């Protein structure tokens, strides 16, 4: 049986172009819950940004590795220090990203954290946090 990566999907009436542009502006969607500090950029392949939250409980660095305008964005986690875990670098090598597709008069957005699977220590707490961020994003895009 294959392990299942964490995914979250929603539909919106926003255009794929508007969603794509918003997602490249990391603080617009990955903030507002745990005192996040985001530095760096994410506009072009190879760009990197750092994410810190929870008074030092979460640090990760992401590198933009895939861009398909108005359709797909993927980052690879190159560094992580999740101090609430035994294996603090558990996110290193995982990938986070969005797939965007037009379906009728709606736009379908799917977030996937590839490598965030049920058999790793971070799964429960990390999926809970992702769900909060992504629900906030879906509300912004309604």
- Percentages helix, strand, coil for the chain (3-state, rounded to 5) are 20, 40, 40
Residue 1 falls inside a structural domain: no
What CATH number is attached to the domain comprising 37? 3.30.530.20
Residue 73 falls inside a structural domain: yes
Taking the C-alpha atoms of residue 72 and residue 97, their distance in angstroms, rounded to an integer, is: 7
Residue 37 falls inside a structural domain: yes
Q: Are 33 and 52 in contact (CB under 8 A)?
A: no
Q: In sequence order, which ranges of 9-122 are alpha helices (DSSP H)?
A: 16-24
Whole-model pTM: value is 0.95
Residue 93 falls inside a structural domain: yes
Domain with 14, as residue range(s), is 6-140
Q: Which of 84, 28, 79, 29 is closest to 56 using CA atoms?
A: 84
Q: Which of 4, 9, 1 is closest to 131 using CA atoms?
A: 9
Residue 87 falls inside a structural domain: yes
Q: Which of 47, 10, 12, 53 is closest to 31 using CA atoms?
A: 53
How would you write the pLDDT of the chain (142 residues) with one tens digit per residue?
457 999 999 999 999 999 999 999 999 999 999 999 999 999 999 999 999 999 999 999 999 999 999 999 999 999 999 999 999 999 999 999 999 999 999 999 999 999 999 999 999 999 999 999 999 999 999 8
Taking the C-alpha atoms of residue 92 and residue 79, their distance in angstroms, rounded to an integer, is: 5
Q: What is the structure's pLDDT at 118?
A: 96
Instruction: Name the domain count of the chain.
Output: 1
Q: What is the structure's pLDDT at 2?
A: 58
Residue 135 falls inside a structural domain: yes
Residue 80 falls inside a structural domain: yes
Q: What is the structure's pLDDT at 1?
A: 47
């Amino acid at each position: 049986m294959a392990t299942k990566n964490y995914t979250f999907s929603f539909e919106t009436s926003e255009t794929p172009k508007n969603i794509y542009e918003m997602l490249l502006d990391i603080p617009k969607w990955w903030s507002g819950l745990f005192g996040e500090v985001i530095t760096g950029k994410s506009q072009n392949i190879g760009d990197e940004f750092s994410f810190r939250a929870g008074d030092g409980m979460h640090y990760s660095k992401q590198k933009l590795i895939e861009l398909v305008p108005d359709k797909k964005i993927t980052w690879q986690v190159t560094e992580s220090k999740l101090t609430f875990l035994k294996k603090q670098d558990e996110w290193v090598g995982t990938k986070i990203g969005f797939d965007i597709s037009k379906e009728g008069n709606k736009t379908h957005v799917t977030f996937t954290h590839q490598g965030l699977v049920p058999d790793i220590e971070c799964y429960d707490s990390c999926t809970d946090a992702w769900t909060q961020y992504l629900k906030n994003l879906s509300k912004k895009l309604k």
